[in-house]
Structure 1
Amino acid sequence: MPLNFADRLNNVETSAIRELFKLLGKPGIISFAGGFPDSAMFDVDGIRIAANAALTNEPGAALQYGATEGYGPLREQIASFMRNKGAQDLTPEQLIVTTGSQQALDLLGKTMISPGDKVIVEGPTFLATIQCFRLYGAELISAPVDGEGVKTDELERLIEEHRPKFVYLIPTFGNPSGALLNEERRRAVLAMAVKHQTLVVEDDPYGDLYFGETPPPLSLLALSAQVPGSRELLVHCGSLSKVLSPGLRVGWMVGPAELLGKATMCKQFSDAHTSTFAQATAAQYLLAGRMPGTLAKVRKVYAERAAAMGDALRRELGDGIEFVQPQGGLFIWARLTGANGKLADGAELAKRAIENNVAFVPGAPFYASNPDVATLRLSFATVGIDKIEEGIARLAASL
């Protein structure tokens, strides 16, 4: 008997990135496709010490069922972590712990989206967000971005036209754009949230991965204290996946109390609570004060790799490609120009590149509408400098 699946599945399909991974088993392939951190950067000793401390200090709490809102000591540590980044008045009660920030997005879909609701996202944006929100029946509207993030004049026009249920942004080193929303635009986003009484969701998994000595502008969460009325219209999603370990699956959501209450109720239905052992381990890690040292290490390595990839792209592909050199994060977002008759189709280049044993993700799937087929996303995070240079040379040979 054929299975009669839910109608909501008609609006989504499997991830183009996950499908691409099936092709990466070829020997000798150099992959710029992944969106994950380098496992060699994980502080294995620090996490081991933290896990042992969790089992030594509070074994019952670490191994037993826990509160859906999250393990108390971890909520305290996350609130402290965020206060140190400018969210000075944040309390543990104003956040819930989620199973990665991906679950926070799913909870937003469950609590906020009814079929046919309009949601504004960046064009391009995180592929899993597109899939998640469409699963719940959202009509997605794309707001254009440039090298400094979402174009706020266009964003406001779209808000006025569509009256969305909410606006979803990755302001700091976005995936896939790598763009950093400047402070003027950040203030504009918060101001228009108040003006139009529109909820804004800030997804911030990459904000700690800045290059150089100067951190990026304050998060929307931190900056909201300077824009009266904006805090009540803001949701902030954070994660330890890109800076500590994806395997811990620890994220969080800050938001209005009423929304957190509904999200907690929905979370009870799905996983009861995020792994208490993972939460207790993360709490002990943050308490031990190892995070600053870990971040300093990964920032240095990723900055070197980003610079090497940018240099190689300019050297090997020349006027055949254009991009903004990222100031942080994990990605270079580029566009094929078609100059001098060269290829200007990211999907076609991806096919040729696989034949030359190099992989990346074409840009079109990252658009909710009107995709730019000339775009592509390259991750520099998991590949050493020698392999970056070799891989970009292979990419140029594919063009």
Structure 2
Amino acid sequence: MRVAPPPPAARLSAVASSPVREILALTARPGVISFAGGLPAPELFDVDGLRAAFDEVLAKQPRRALQYSRTEGDPVLRQAIADRLTRRDLPTAADDLLITTGSQQALTLIATTLLEPGDVVLVEEPSYLAALQCFQLAGARLVPVPCDEDGLDPVALAELVDRERPALLYLVPTFQNPTGRTLTAERRRAVAEVAASRGLWIVEDDPYGELRYRGEALSPIAALDDAADRTILLGTFSKIMAPGLRIGWLRAPAALANSLVVAKQAADLHTSTIDQAAAGVYLGAVDLDEHIRRLRAAYAPRREALLAGLPEALPAGSTWSDPDGGMFVWVRLPGVADASELLPRALARDVAFVPGAPFFATRPDPATLRLSFTTHSPEEIAEGLRRLGAALA
């Protein structure tokens, strides 16, 4: 008699599969114009520069690059990231940083370090889908903070902190995923004050901050005096270099550094040695700021093309965000529309988007959807919007 092995852990039952990943599989066929994934444009990857960096690493330091390495990360890479953050008004030392396998792993390490099952995590409404998955997997209870076009409401945040006693606040303050909105400087200061006066950890996720197309850059929350000792800043090279490298980092207060290192040791020992070494060489050989300027120059007209075409493509009464940077525009259809029900009609016309409901921690708004503008030319975006308009008609 054969006995079945035990089932998967019960905590997985509370975590839904990512609809973004499922839609990406559906849109892989040729001819589909996809506004679904938050993907950088592959034609803008610096293939030659990255190839040269890997060649140099393998030619000059193969034994080191192919060996196990320190959990904290490659010292050359950490110093290069520290220098970039310092130039962005956030003085940082290499020892303040932990290299992670993408910033998604940073979220997992934070959840492992700071959360017990049943702890409350405050999130924006709506919020980054993969962060919601991560915190749900850790057994946290997610509580959304009301938001408007200027980001989360600090007054509502203070009330929720007093009522819920959360372990941490997670937010993407600059060009947020999925809405594209940016938290104002005044509200950043207010968030820092709430965290300081009530004993709250802040997890500040910043994957898009350097992709600004208009306006002046804002200092990160981590740079504010009230937040300096309680903010964990997450960054990544996925949006400005190449996501396939899977190189991210977190900048943490000294009180958390050792615990996060131990959590990473238990997770994967260290991030890929050769990828870190190549990234360090690449950053020393190229002008990354100039590469980012090229990305901005390419993405800005794509953003404009999407925004210009929405009035004709969407039903009357629709509303949408007008982001200063990043990768996304957030749409709300009129009335009681359900974007999930409309998606099959769009796919039948070879165009795709992401329904907005999964980005909500509790009460979803089914009439919302997310559009990404980075992976197609303005001409392709115009054609995609024509198809989308026909599907929604």
* Short-chain TM bin: over 0.9
Decide which of 76, 85, 90 is 1:87's aligned counterpart: 90
- 1:292 and 2:285 are equivalent in the alignment: no
Aligned to 2:333: 336
Aligned to 2:72: 69
Aligned to 1:368: 361
Aligned to 1:156: 158
Measure, in 2, the Cα distance between the counterparts of 1:320 and 1:350: 19
> Secondary structure of the equivalent of 1:179?
coil
Q: Please tell me the residue identity of whatever aligns with 2:269.
A: A
Aligned to 2:380: 387
1:232-381 equivalences in 2 (<5 Å): 232-317=229-314, 319-338=316-335, 344-381=337-374
Q: CA deviation at 1:318?
A: 5.8
Q: CA deviation at 1:53?
A: 2.6
When residues 99 and 215 of structure 1 are mapped into structure 2, their CA distance, relative to the original with a 3 A threshold, is farther
CA contact (8 A) 2:201 2:230 kept: yes
CA contact (8 A) 1:46 1:290 kept: no
> Secondary structure of the equivalent of 2:181?
coil
Decide which of 160, 174, 177 is 1:175's aligned counterpart: 177
Identity of aligned residues (%): 44
Q: CA offsets, 1:170-204, max 9 Å, x none?
A: 00111111111110011111111101110101000
Q: Please tell me the residue identity of whatever aligns with 2:366.
A: V
Q: CA offsets, 1:185-241, max 9 Å, x none?
A: 1111111110111010100000010003x442111123x2xx24x211111000000
Measure, in 2, the Cα distance between the counterparts of 1:120 and 1:51: 41
Q: CA deviation at 1:25?
A: 3.9
CA contact (8 A) 1:267 1:273 kept: yes
Q: CA deviation at 1:26?
A: 4.3
CA contact (8 A) 1:26 1:357 kept: no
Q: CA deviation at 1:386?
A: 1.1
Decide which of 113, 116, 141 is 1:114's aligned counterpart: 116
Aligned to 1:78: 81
Measure, in 2, the Cα distance between the counterparts of 1:189 and 1:360: 32
CA contact (8 A) 2:179 2:321 kept: no
1:168-247 equivalences in 2 (<5 Å): 168-212=170-214, 214-222=215-223, 224=224, 227-228=225-226, 230-247=227-244
Aligned to 1:9: 12
CA contact (8 A) 2:40 2:239 kept: yes
When residues 364 and 84 of structure 1 are mapped into structure 2, their CA distance, relative to the original with a 3 A threshold, is same
When residues 322 and 195 of structure 1 are mapped into structure 2, their CA distance, relative to the original with a 3 A threshold, is same
Q: CA deviation at 1:151?
A: 1.8
24-33 or 237-246: bigger deviation:
24-33
Aligned to 1:97: 99
> Secondary structure of the equivalent of 1:319?
coil
Across the aligned residues of Structure 1 and Structure 2, the Cα RMSD in angstroms comes to 1.4
Normalised by the size of structure 2, how large is the TM-score?
Answer: 0.96
CA contact (8 A) 2:68 2:273 kept: yes
Q: CA deviation at 1:16?
A: 1.4
> Secondary structure of the equivalent of 2:26?
coil
Q: Please tell me the residue identity of whatever aligns with 2:307.
A: G
Measure, in 1, the Cα distance between the counterparts of 2:44 and 2:60: 27
Normalised by the size of structure 1, how large is the TM-score?
Answer: 0.94
CA contact (8 A) 2:49 2:286 kept: no
Aligned to 2:125: 123
CA contact (8 A) 1:149 1:180 kept: yes
Decide which of 48, 52, 57 is 2:55's aligned counterpart: 52
Q: CA deviation at 1:12?
A: 0.9
Q: CA offsets, 1:285-327, max 9 Å, x none?
A: 1112420111001111111101100000023326342112111
Measure, in 2, the Cα distance between the counterparts of 1:57 and 1:319: 61
Measure, in 1, the Cα distance between the counterparts of 2:281 and 2:201: 33
Measure, in 2, the Cα distance between the counterparts of 1:274 and 1:215: 34
Q: CA offsets, 1:78-133, max 9 Å, x none?
A: 10011111112x11111110011000000011111111000001111111111111
CA contact (8 A) 2:312 2:389 kept: no
> Secondary structure of the equivalent of 2:229?
helix
CA contact (8 A) 1:95 1:254 kept: yes
1:133-152 equivalences in 2 (<5 Å): 133-152=135-154
When residues 320 and 350 of structure 1 are mapped into structure 2, their CA distance, relative to the original with a 3 A threshold, is farther
When residues 215 and 279 of structure 1 are mapped into structure 2, their CA distance, relative to the original with a 3 A threshold, is farther
Q: CA offsets, 1:32-58, max 9 Å, x none?
A: 111111111111111112222323443
Measure, in 1, the Cα distance between the counterparts of 2:25 and 2:43: 23
Measure, in 2, the Cα distance between the counterparts of 1:122 and 1:216: 21
Q: CA offsets, 1:42-78, max 9 Å, x none?
A: 1111111222232344333222111001111111111
Q: Please tell me the residue identity of whatever aligns with 1:386.
A: E
Number of residue pairs matched by the alignment:
389
195-204 or 250-259: bigger deviation:
250-259
> Secondary structure of the equivalent of 1:232?
coil
Q: Please tell me the residue identity of whatever aligns with 1:219.
A: P
Measure, in 1, the Cα distance between the counterparts of 2:208 and 2:377: 20
Q: Please tell me the residue identity of whatever aligns with 2:378.
A: I
CA contact (8 A) 2:210 2:292 kept: yes
> Secondary structure of the equivalent of 1:378?
strand
Aligned to 1:19: 22
368-377 or 57-66: bigger deviation:
57-66
**Structure 2 spans left out of the alignment, 5+ residues:** none
